[in-house]
Amino acid sequence: MNPELRPDFSLEGEKEIIKEMVKLTIGLMEESKEGCPLRVQHAKATACVTATFEIAADIPAGLRYGVFSKPGRVFEAIVRFSNAQGKITPDGERTARGLAIKLLNVDGPRAMDQGTDTSQDFLFVDHPVFPFPNPEEYRDIIKYKSVPLIGDLLALAHLQFFEPDQLEIVKAIRKKTVASPLGITYWSGVPYWLGDAVGLTGQAVKYSAVPHALTTGPADPEELPADYLREAVAKQLAQGEVVFDFKVQKQGDSASMPIEDASVYWNEHQSAPVTVATLRIGKQAVNSNSELEKRCEGMSFNPWHALKEHRPLGGLNRLRKAVYEASFTERERRKKAA
């Protein structure tokens, strides 16, 4: 077996980098105007809604693992749409957009042994690759951004002079404009195991979520209201349901579709994504003060909230395991101390 698929796989020196990233991340955590701790990333929810996740009736036999094991099964879900920054800013600001799907009451052996979580989380952004290939490169950027007052300028200068390929990905993300979070395609960006719980039979995959109705972004989003994305979601869901195809892309050649470099695009012509489920977001009222929104903001969305059959792979996912846990713990600590 490819050693990168083993549950205990890690790279030399990675554990120290992850420890440093946890410290840096907690240092960047900000608070809202109300004094509540914000998520370090994806702080602003553009909507939180209920949904169903129906497994395809004709799902290929080789993909029938975990939540995909029973064709036709339907899971209840909570879905959070977000902007990627760690601050609450106007929706017109150019940034990545996030989609987090939490399937509820999912039984089975967990990717993380500790804890009592029984959800299956799938996390996405609206770009097929991440700018930073691995924990070390990501750590370097966060170190620059952590410098008071001039951090963003230092990070930009580093990318311009030393990492032009990463800078091009950042530029591509920021060129996008979005009319509604319900009308764009999302990708997992990083890979996951899809196979048996013990890790003997299966493969590396990536996920995507494709809406049935794509929408074109506005020319000047900066001129729109600060919460125009939430307004768009509320308007659409007041009129009827929105549907996404949930797709799985199998890893092909490991050299051209690497696990440990999240900045490399897995060519969808070489390995076509296959629809394995349907995400249905039914007609509903979207209200920022609703009980659902409050519940959603108290939740932790984490790729390691998963069955072993869907275990996250790659360095950035190993980094996320530590950072997301530490971030959630710190948010809970600050809430109690407030």
| pLDDT tens digits, one per residue of 194-250 | 999 988 899 999 999 999 999 998 989 999 999 999 999 999 999 999 999 999 999
Question: Which CATH superfamily does the domain covering 3-135+176-337 fall into?
Answer: Catalase core domain (2.40.180.10)
Confidence of residue 33 (pLDDT cuts 50, 70, 90): low
pLDDT band at 80 (very low <50, low <70, confident <90, very high): very high
3-state secondary structure labels for all residues of the chain: CCHHHCCCCCCCCHHHHHHHHHHHHHHHCCECCCCCECCCCCCEEEEEEEEEEEECCCCCHHHCCHHHCCCCCEEEEEEEEEECCCCCCCCCCCCCEEEEEEECCCCCCECCCCCCCCCEEEEEECCCCCCCCCHHHHHHHHHHHCCCCCHHHHHHHHHHHHCHHHHHHHHHHHHCCCCCHHHCCEECCCCEEEECCCCCCEEEEEEEEEECCCCCCCCCHHHCCCCHHHHHHHHHHHHCCEEEEEEEEECCCCCCCCCCCCCCCCCCCCCCCEEEEEEEECCCCCCCCCHHHHHHHCCCCCCCCCEHHHCECCHHHHHHHHHHHHHHHHHHHHHHHC
* pLDDT of 277 above 90: yes
Alpha-carbon distance values, 95 to 177, 179, 222, 223 (Å):
9, 13, 12, 15
Domain ranges of the chain: 3-135+176-337
The angle formed by the CA atoms of residues 32, 37 and 130, to the nearest 5 degrees, is 95
Closest by CA to 7, choosing from 129, 120, 105, 110, is 110
**The pLDDT of residue 40:** 78
Residue appearing with tokens 């209201």? 225
Compute the residue count for the chain: 338
pLDDT for residue 43? 86
- Using a pLDDT cut of 70, give the percent of the chain over it: 98
Please indicate whether residue 42 or residue 149 has the higher confidence score (pLDDT). 42
CA 150 to the chain's CA centroid: 28
Amino acid occupying residue 210: V
Which amino acid appears at position 98 of this protein? G
Task: Give the residue among 55, 51, 119 at the shortest CA–CA distance from 81.
Answer: 51
Structure tokens at 36: 């509540």
Residue type, 79: V
pLDDT tens, position by position, 302-314: 999 999 999 999 9
pLDDT for residue 35 is more than 70: no
Averaged pLDDT of the chain:
92
Tokens of 248: 């799985």
Is the confidence at residue 61, as pLDDT, over 70? Answer: yes
